[in-house]
Structures are given as structure tokens and as C-alpha cells.
Amino acid sequence: MDHLPAAHPAPVDITLDLLYELLGIERHWEPILLLRNARIVRGHLPPLVLSVARTSGAAMGPGSLAELDRMQRRAATYRAIADELTRIPGTRVLKGPSLAARYPQGVLRPLGDLDVVVPDEPRLWQAASRVLAGRPVDGIDITVLRADGTRHTAIALHWPSEDPMIDPELKVEISTFAYPGDSGAVPLRAATPPEQVQADVLALAEERFQRPFTAKDMLDLAVVFSSPGLPPWADLARSADRFRLAPELLELCQAVSGLPALAHTVPRELTHALEERASAEQDRRRSVAVDAAPADRSAPVRERLDAGMPVHGMLLKRADTPRADAYAVTEDFSDGTLLRTPVGDFLLVDGEIVDPGQYESALAAVREAVR
């Protein structure tokens, strides 16, 4: 029966009652407590709470309505950027607008950053240049790593929100890979499944390598699983296995199943299919961990980069206009290694603290190079 599409349950009714359950708040407390809790837990949840409050007819004043309006403009900004970048051939936006489109009318999905995957480095700089040209970007972060002989790059572009005292900054993360893994037994996987919904679900599972799952992740999965147009559950389980994410997707499914209001969205046939695959994947990871030599995290940046370990870039000089070259180049100087890119020059570093002398030496090397 694997050829049949997944049968989806009734759509999730996202109400204040559901949010109280998700956030572990007793129902007799006023909505202000719900919003306060949403501000302190991870997941950019205030827009969700405010939008559900408005659709439910809760009393709202000008302050909360103004915040909700700002968040709607933030969502529109991300949609516009996604629409622009996906015109670049081979570019895909994960989660974000595609998940938001599955939420009920009037309910605003929590808004963090925008995750963009491009097929190669030239299109990464093309995408980054488009964001830089249209937004007041005031921060650029870069990570470089090597996998299967290929250099991969991730760039994060961020800028202040409308109200920086209340709202988080806007951020667009563009990378030449979809799923970074855990820098250990789970390798970087550059590609994505061809189906958007599978790519999104696996991106949700991949978050587990960075942090514990949150209420946002659980609600996202429940909304997706109760939406039309899903592939067969067996296909999703096979995809999770292929991309080394069966344990993480199983954990997220189990978390959703533990919530009474959302448990019906997770089909038993999917969790059953994931259990065997998750066990096999955990065995594989243990085997790889035993055989692998520990990474020398004290090695110089150049050695770390050649060994495939992630190396970060500290911006030294932003390009006035993007250069015509399509690839970044590394250059060694007396005190380290530079990354010269079409959007700026970076000092490659192995931590957040950089020796002031090395930083000044790097600036001097950049000035010398442009003479």
C-alpha cells in the first residue's frame, strides 16, 4: 500500500487552549501569562500567541496589536525575500513560508530566520548579493567547512527589526548544504528530498543536532501531518533513513504524541516504520564513533579547514559592490588565513575570542591586498 498518499487527520485547531497546553500554563491564568511565557521560551512564539488571541476574540490593546502588525510585516518581508531568491535556479527555502502556508488562516507561524539552500557557491554569492542590495544588513557571519572533498559555505545576513527593543533581528541564512549534521557520526548532507514537504520535515528533525525540540517544532510537525498533499508515510520513513534522521524524526513524533491535543496527528504506521530505522541508525553512529579519530580542535585554522572541521569568518571589510568572481579564495598571511569573498573579506578564526594583534595584522593584510 506504499503507493497510496498519507491519510491526514483533521486539521489542527490552533486555539488559546492548545497554546496553554503546549507551553505548560494552567488554563485559569490570564492570556498575559501565556504571552509572558512565550517571550522567555525558545521559538519566537509571541507572534503565534498574539495572532491566536486576535482570532479568538481576546481583548487586545494598541500595544499588542501594533506588535502583531509588525510581525505580519516581518513575515511578508521573509516571503518577499524567499520569492526573490527562489528565482535563482536550484535554490530552495526550507520551512519558513512553506510551513506557514499550512497554518490556519489568520494564525501567524512563529518567525525566526529564513533558511535558504543553494546548489553551489556561485549561487550562494548571488543570493547573498541580492539580500545585501535590498536590506539594511549590518552583520555578516560566515562558516566554511569541507565534506567529501567539496568546500561548503554558509552565510548569515542579519539586520535590526522595526523595534529592536522588543523584536528579534531579521536573519537570512544561505548555505550550500541542507543538513549540516553533527560534525561527527552524522555527516553533512548537501541535497534535499525533491518533495518540499519531506525537505521541510527533515529540516525540523535536523534541528535536534543544535538544541532540544521546542513547542514550535512540535506544532510545526502536527500542522504538517494534518495537512493535505502529504507523501505516503512509508516514503517519509525511507527519506528519514536515507538522510540519517530517523532517530531525530522519531523523537519529534514521540514528543508530539505525548501532547493530548496533538497526539492524533502522528500515525502509528509512521512511528513504527521509524523505530526500526532509528535503531539501525543509532547502531551505525556508535560504530562510526568507535572507528573515528577525535578531531584536534586546537589545530591551526588552516589545518582545521583542510580536515573538514567548521571554521568561522570574522568580517574585516565589506565589499562596496560584489565582485565578479564566483568563488571565495583563502589566503594565508603572517598571522593566519583570510577568506576573500565577493561580499567582503574575513579573518578565519577558531573561536569567538580573537587576539587583537592578529586582528590588526589581518586588517593590514587586507589593506595591502587592495593597493
44-54 pLDDT, tens per residue?
899 999 999 99
- pLDDT greater than 80 at residue 101: yes
CA atoms within 13 A on the CB side of 59: 3
Find, among 300, 309, 296, the residue nearest to 332 by Cα: 300
Residue 293 has pLDDT above 60, yes or no: no
Give pLDDT tens digits for 88-97.
999 999 999 9
pLDDT level of residue 302 (50, 70, 90 thresholds): confident
Q: What is the pLDDT of residue 42?
A: 81
pLDDT of residue 140: 96
pLDDT band at 200 (very low <50, low <70, confident <90, very high): very high
Query: What span, in angstroms and rounded, lies between the C-alpha atoms of 298 and 217?
Result: 35
DSSP state at residue 260: T
Mean pLDDT over residues 32-39, rounded?
92
Mean pLDDT of 96-108: 94
Q: What is the mean pLDDT of the chain?
A: 91
Residue 42 grid cell:
525558545
Inter-residue contact 142 to 339 (CB < 8 Å): yes
pLDDT at residue 111, as a whole number: 86
Q: What is the pLDDT of residue 1?
A: 44
Across the range 233-243, mean pLDDT stands at 96
Q: Please indicate whether residue 142 or residue 3 has the higher confidence score (pLDDT).
A: 142
Confidence of residue 234 (pLDDT cuts 50, 70, 90): very high
Segment 325-336 shows an average pLDDT of 88
Tell me what percent of the residues of the chain surpass a pLDDT of 70. 94
pLDDT at 22 over 80: yes
Task: Render 163-230 in DSSP notation, one character per residue.
Answer: STTTSPPEEEEEES-SB-TTSSSS--B----SSHHHHHHHHHHHGGGTS---HHHHHHHHHHHTSSSP
The span from the CA of 169 to the CA of 317, in Å, is 22
* The residue type at 363: L
Please compute the mean of the pLDDT values over residues 100-126 and round it to a whole number.
Answer: 94
- pLDDT tens digit sequence for 71-85: 999 999 999 999 999
pLDDT in tens, 132-151: 998 999 999 999 998 888 99
What CA–CA distance (Å, rounded) separates 46 from 52?
10
What is the pLDDT at residue 178? 97
**How many of the other CB atoms lie within 10 Å of CB of 291?**
8
What is the pLDDT confidence band of residue 162, given thresholds at 50, 70 and 90?
very high
